[in-house]
């Protein structure tokens, strides 16, 4: 009997990053990442993929009704916007002199993690 160990997939996008959407109904829009869900390879982006959720009257929402809320999108549909060159870019990993690894912009070469 062999036990299969599942590892968490590596994600290039982190909470707080500014991203732009590459495909779908919100293509071209950009927003801030609110949550990263690595197990599903998804990200929740502020103001992107808005869906209507119907709520029954309960304690927190005594009036009930329709609520607009963000739904997660696949991380492959989102591309990070570099803070320095202000363009959508892919991510490169660079190791610094002290041994730490940082994310860098493929276009301008500057560090994304500060």
CATH of the domain at 70: 2.30.30.30
C-alpha span between 104 and 111 (Å, rounded): 4
C-alpha span between 105 and 43 (Å, rounded): 20
Q: Domain range holding 49?
A: 1-81
* The overall pTM is greater than 0.85: no
| Full pLDDT tens readout for the chain, 114 residues | 677 777 777 889 999 999 999 999 999 999 999 999 999 999 999 999 999 999 999 888 889 899 899 999 999 999 999 999 999 999 999 999 999 999 999 999 999 877
Q: Domain count for the chain, please give it.
A: 2
Claim to verify: residue 36 and residue 1 sit in the same structural domain: yes
Claim to verify: residue 45 and residue 68 sit in the same structural domain: yes
Claim to verify: residue 64 and residue 100 sit in the same structural domain: no
The DSSP letter of residue 82 is P
Beta strand pairing status for 91-95 and 101-105? antiparallel
In sign, the C-alpha dihedral spanning 100, 93, 5, 33 is positive
Sequence-ordered strand ranges (E) for the chain: 18-21, 30-37, 42-45, 50-55, 65-70, 73-74, 78-80, 91-95, 101-105
Claim to verify: residue 99 and residue 65 sit in the same structural domain: no
18 neighbors 84 (Cβ within 8 angstroms): no
């Amino acid at each position: 009997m062999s036990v299969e160990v599942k590892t968490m997939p590596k994600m290039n996008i982190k909470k707080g990053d500014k991203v732009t959407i590459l495909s779908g109904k919100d293509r071209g829009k950009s927003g801030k990442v609110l949550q990263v869900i690595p197990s599903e390879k998804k990200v929740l982006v502020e103001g992107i993929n808005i869906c209507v959720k119907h709520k029954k009257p309960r304690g927190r929402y005594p009036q009930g009704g329709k609520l607009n809320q963000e739904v997660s999108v696949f991380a492959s549909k989102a591309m990070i916007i570099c803070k320095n060159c202000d363009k959508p870019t892919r991510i490169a990993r660079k190791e610094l002199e002290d041994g730490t690894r940082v994310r860098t912009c493929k276009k301008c070469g500057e560090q994304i993690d500060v």
